[in-house]
Amino acid sequence: MASQNTSQAGRAPSRRRGHERVAALLAAASDCFVEKGYDATTMTEIAARAGASIGSLYQFFPTKESVAEALITGHANGLNEHMERLLAQTPDWTTEELADHLLRAFADYRKRHPAFVALVEVAGSLPSMLGRTIRQRMRDYLSQILAIHAPGLPAGDLRPAAMVVQQLMKAAVALDGEQPATLRKAAQNQLQHALSLYLGQLAARR
């Protein structure tokens, strides 16, 4: 009797049409979040932008937070794959190459998923601790990468170093929005150089 309720919100799509709608809604939401931020985007605008009605949106996402969560978990998976690839190739790279891949490749990932940064920011103040989880996992990956690249580093120094690298990656993302382009590229090169110096110094320790 209570097992199924036809007009319950938050159902997962089962038919083909539903999956398309969900995809369109998420894409629209992503655009909105990028342009106006989480707080300023409205459910009405998300629906309109996806060519759907407000009721259709609430059919699949019972709450505004649930929309953000869906986007974040999707991005989190993509980021994990990305870090997995970096980790696998770390043994083959010099210090300069590692610095380049950590900064540039990550910035590229963000450029392909523009909503990612904005969402991880708000995810910290969301009830679900998704934001913390993502940052924590990223830190774990960086620790592993550092352990490979700087084998002489004591285990206790890995996490602080990973935190520093994480902040430098965040800085690279921030620099990505700078204008004009020549200044931006110069600054990004400098940042990469700074990371190289730091990584090199870590690897030289024993």
Partner DNA sequence: CTAATATGTGAGGGTAGCCTCACATTGGAG
Partner DNA sequence: CTCCAATGTGAGGCTACCCTCACATATTAG
Distance CA 104, CA 185 (A): 11
Position 162, amino acid: A
- Minimum CB distance to a second copy, residue 144 (Å): 17
- Minimum CB distance to a second copy, residue 68 (Å): 14
Answer with the entry of a second copy, DNA, none that 63 interacts with (C-beta below 5 to 8 A by kind): DNA
Contact between 91 and 188 under an 8 Å Cβ cutoff? The reply is no
SS3 29: helix
> Contact positions toward a second copy, by CB under 8 A?
37, 39-40, 125, 157, 159-161, 163-164, 167-168, 170-171, 174-175, 178, 183, 186-187, 189-191, 193-195, 197-198, 201
- Minimum CB distance to DNA, residue 72 (Å): 16
Cα dist from 38 to 30, 42, 81, 122, 203, whole Å = 10, 8, 25, 7, 41
Q: Which of 23, 35, 37, 53 binds DNA (CB under 7 A)?
A: 53
SS3 10: coil
Answer with the entry of a second copy, DNA, none that 77 interacts with (C-beta below 5 to 8 A by kind): none
Contact between 9 and 59 under an 8 Å Cβ cutoff? The reply is yes
Q: Which residues bind DNA (CB under 7 A)?
A: 4, 6-7, 9, 11, 13-19, 21, 41-44, 52-56, 58-59, 62-65
